[in-house]
Structure 1
Amino acid sequence: MRIVKKLLRSRVFWTLALLVGVVTYRFYEEYEGIQSEIVQSWLKTPTADCAVVLTGGAGRVREGFDLLANQNVKRLVISGVYSNARLREIMPLWSLYGNLSENDVVLDRRSETTYGNAQQSLPIVEALKCRDILLVTSRLHMHRSYLTFRNAYPENIYIQKHAIIGGRYESSVWELGFEAMKSLFYSLWAY
């Protein structure tokens, strides 16, 4: 009992308790932000000057090519491809897309993280003179991606979310929790 009373009078205890409370609250905010992300492309047909596709999940690159082929975007930036990757290797179904021009697709081979995707794609987007972009990634990844891109890109470039479903619509608690931890970490320095 004496130890408990001494602990409750300790500034270190209350400082740690406050820190744990703040981190828990921020984690919950990130978790809710991720879970509430909707697939807006199901509600309307998106259009923009360019699409920026973040690699790393099923269906993202194909969705980018679909947007280009359907003329929803004029240019496609695929961010985070392997350094030796070639366009035809990334999209083996290229020949099925008709008369797409390889000049309309730019591969960013330098990015390895979501932060890197934002930093490395910005000069490409500016060089292509894109006034607005569709940010293409998974529903689970969209919350962190959008906030990172919004912080890295200037306000005059409008960013539209274009979330896709790579597997199932509802993510597991573990997937959401892991993404919330990454998002919490990113919130400290990236947005």
Structure 2
Amino acid sequence: MWRSKSLLIAKKLLRSRTFWLLFAVGLVVLYRFINEYQRVQNEPMISWTKSQSADCAVVLTGGAGRVREGFDLLVNQNVKKLVISGVYANARLREIMPPWPYYGNLNENDVVLDRRSETTYGNAQQSLPIVEALKCRDILLVTSRIHMYRSYRTFRASFPENIYIQKHPVVGVRYEPSVLEISFEALKSLFYSLWAY
């Protein structure tokens, strides 16, 4: 009896247009997710194999090693100005970078803090007027390797074409992120692809 009811329900479902529409949407979402997953996973570590320089670096906060990498770029004169995007509203420069005294004679005027951004999209929107005010013709985008694909696409969609953006990924906790980390980032990228780029 239970089996016959199950077969009857299955037959009704297979005849339903709604079922097939949801099935097709599910396949499209699955295809897009797999595509985003592969792109996030295969982001190359360009910064390890190529010396990069630009007018400015834009560092996206939120992960280990990003801010330090930005300061290293500034100290080594790979960039002239450093924008740190997404810091807390009351944060001070010396709190963000406690080893500041060990970096020699850095000028605090070469570092700009964006205190308004809270998302990757916000980073791009809030960094653009700063980058334009600093007259940067090109930037190094500094974020984690796993976050780079979504960040680059968001910045490229927000910034004008005349500002050249170079990827400068850093390794956060480990070189190879876990499947769960990549999956979570791929979901974010899938969501961003619907409205941000």
The TM-score range, normalised by the shorter chain, is: over 0.9
The yes-or-no answer on 1:110 pairing with 2:140 is no
For 1:38 and 1:44, the matched residues in 2 are separated by 11
Secondary structure of 1:170 counterpart: coil
Per the alignment, residue 140 of structure 1 pairs with 146
Per the alignment, residue 47 of structure 2 pairs with 41
Per the alignment, residue 91 of structure 1 pairs with 97
For 1:18 and 1:118, the matched residues in 2 are separated by 34
Deviations 1:74-127 (A, max 9, x none): 000000000000111111111111111001000000000000000000000000
Displacement after TM superposition at 1:56 (Å): 0.4
The letter of the residue matching 1:188 is: L
For 2:52 and 2:106, the matched residues in 1 are separated by 19
Secondary structure of 1:77 counterpart: strand
For 1:90 and 1:165, the matched residues in 2 are separated by 19
Structural mapping, 1:4-153, within 5 Å = 4-153=10-159
Per the alignment, residue 166 of structure 1 pairs with 172
The percent of aligned pairs where both chains have the same amino acid is: 76
For 1:176 and 1:70, the matched residues in 2 are separated by 32
The structure 1 segments of at least 4 consecutive aligned residues displaced by more than 6 Å after TM superposition are none
TM-score by length of 2: 0.95
For 1:3 and 1:114, the matched residues in 2 are separated by 45
Q: Which has the larger radius of gyration?
A: 2
Choose which of 160, 174, 185 in structure 2 pairs with 1:179: 185
Uncovered stretches (5+) of structure 2, i.e. residues with no partner: 1-6
**Larger CA deviation: 76-85 vs 4-13:** 4-13
For 2:37 and 2:76, the matched residues in 1 are separated by 34
Number of residue pairs the alignment of both structures matches = 191
Q: CA RMSD in A?
A: 0.7
Uncovered stretches (5+) of structure 1, i.e. residues with no partner: none
For 2:15 and 2:75, the matched residues in 1 are separated by 66
